[in-house]
Structure 1
Amino acid sequence: MAQAPTADWGITVVGERQHTVRADDVTEATLTTGRVRVSCASGDRYDATWRGVGVGDLLDGASPPAETTHLVFESDSGYAACVPVGDAIGGLVAVERDGEALAEDESYATRFVAPGVDGARFVKGVERIRALSLPPEADPTEYENLDLDSPEYEKTDA
């Protein structure tokens, strides 16, 4: 099977079990494509076609508990975003944008993207995904480390 165009990366996925997906595990057959509109804090807006591994596929090996309400996406730099599971499951951890490997143009090889999710939560350099079961009164932002004043802050247009 052909190898997908990726860099050297690994993502640890934590649910009832923990497993790691590495670049070498990803083949052309395991990639999916999605189109997402991104709005940067700088005012730039663009539609991009992202290609990567579906969040649901990444979760399969970790067996997240049935009561999972949120997923925390953590970067290699400590940036972390807590996303409702219903929103995150439709996303992917991208390795390409508009046909180009992220690692060729950026300082990161992977990026979480999902339609309808605020761009500040489009974590770059994803290295870990954790399943959380939060009670209704919990504040998901307590599980985040977002620097909204950073030029990295982006949001998607709904």
Structure 2
Amino acid sequence: MSRFPFAPPPALRPENIQARFRSALHEPRTAVVLGRWLGAAFLVCFLTGLISHGLQDPPGWLRNHLPSRPVDGYRITQGLHVITGIACIPLLAAKLWTVYPKLFTWPPARSVLQALERLGIALLLGSAVLLLFTGLLNTLQWYPWPFPFRQTHFWLAWIAIGGLLLHIAAKAPVIQENWRRVRVPVVDGRRAFLTGVLLSVAAVTVVTAGQSVPWLRRFDLLAPRRPDLGPQGLPVNRTAVAAGTAQTSGADWRLTVTGPRGYTLTLDELAALPQYTAQLPIACVEGWSASAHWTGVRVRDLLDRAGAPESARLRVVSLEQGGPYRTTEMESSYAHDPLTLLALRVNGEVLAADHGFPARIIAPNRPGVLQTKWVSRLEVLA
């Protein structure tokens, strides 16, 4: 008799479940190997996600310490974030296939330890599936849900980490026993199955990573974006039409710089100032990135002319009509970096409307959403 007030339905009775799950690969060693791979990919994805979140929305204690170097820093970390996130999909599927018979054991928990293990599994599985699902749709720029993606993605990641730590703690004896191959018996098909999983991960990576890894671009078959397609050879996330800036005229445009000695410049006056060229990447949260040669005026020169102190932060205001990034803030480490430009040209051509004409911000190691386009105002912040 069951100690529970009700018995499981026939399909969930232990003897019937075991009869249905006959593969020898539903065993601890295979689960531990897959868990190691999945844990490593998830850890890289989690840490690079924290970097992205910190650069986009830094807490107060971090704001004055954001690094503008290496130049390709955000390109690398966000590329790794999306690559490992996509790699987690086949790894998680294989891991779930290996352990899913355990999900149907009855009763669900026979001890406090097992109850904690089940809680960890519920937190880890639910949050991980949501993370990968919403993250994959984010690479496609498709948001069919009512909640804000970035904030929800951030907190789901912390829930998943908590569930993972709880799961590891509950399963520590099993993990230790099956960590090394010499301690467990050989199971027919295990090596072939694990090799198949690795080949699946490699295939998924090769056909999607080209959006951020230039030397894999020729294999870029399933990636959501091609970094070399778009106006002036660069992709565009938000067009001038969508931003309401398509009719902006260079003759009527003015740049206002506030500060102790604020001033206003026409486009011709801005173009007459010393111009600098820097090769910098545009790297976006969706995982794609592309390098270009940008030409314009150094932001630090504009701030010096306005009498801004070296420690001053900057608020950048766009002509964009609405949108969460119409106004952005730039920390002093970026504002005074000699590579940070108010760009007027890209790859030798005047900026296209979709790339921010008349002027846009381009800075090293900075998320693409903060590389403000259609700039009209620079405000010095104390």
Q: TM-score, normalised on structure 2?
A: 0.31
Indicate whether 1:120 and 2:369 are aligned: yes
Question: Equivalent residue for 2:359?
Answer: 110
CA contact (8 A) 2:297 2:343 kept: yes
In the aligned structure 1, how far is the partner of 2:356 from the partner of 2:300?
25
Letter of the 1:72 counterpart: R
CA contact (8 A) 2:283 2:290 kept: yes
Given the alignment, which residue of 113, 129, 136 partners 2:378?
129
In the aligned structure 2, how far is the partner of 1:51 from the partner of 1:15?
24
In the aligned structure 2, how far is the partner of 1:13 from the partner of 1:74?
10
Question: Equivalent residue for 1:40?
Answer: 284
After TM superposition, the structure 1 = structure 2 runs for residues 1-150 of structure 1, keeping only pairs within 5 Å, are 7-8=250-251, 9-27=253-271, 30-64=274-308, 66=309, 68-77=311-320, 79-90=326-337, 91-103=340-352, 106=355, 108-133=357-382
Superposition deviation, residue 85 in structure 1: 1.4
Divergent runs of 4+, >6 A = none
Query: SS of 2:357's equivalent?
Result: coil
Q: CA RMSD in A?
A: 2.3
Identity in percent: 32
Question: Which runs of no fewer than 5 residues in structure 2 stay unpaired?
Answer: 1-249
In the aligned structure 2, how far is the partner of 1:88 from the partner of 1:57?
10
In the aligned structure 1, how far is the partner of 2:313 from the partner of 2:262?
16
CA contact (8 A) 2:254 2:265 kept: yes
In the aligned structure 1, how far is the partner of 2:335 from the partner of 2:310?
15
Q: Deviations over 1:57-78 (max 9, x none)?
A: 21233112x3743111110125
CA contact (8 A) 1:49 1:97 kept: yes
Q: Deviations over 1:12-63 (max 9, x none)?
A: 0011121012211134661111111112344431001100111022123311
Question: Which runs of no fewer than 5 residues in structure 1 stay unpaired?
Answer: 1-6, 134-158
Greater per-residue strand proportion: 1
Greater per-residue helix proportion: 2
Q: TM-score, normalised on structure 1?
A: 0.70
In the aligned structure 1, how far is the partner of 2:332 from the partner of 2:356?
27
In the aligned structure 2, how far is the partner of 1:124 from the partner of 1:113?
9
Which stretch has the larger CA shift, 107-116 or 120-129? 107-116
CA change 1:61–1:69 in 2 (3 A) is closer
Higher alpha-carbon Rg = 2
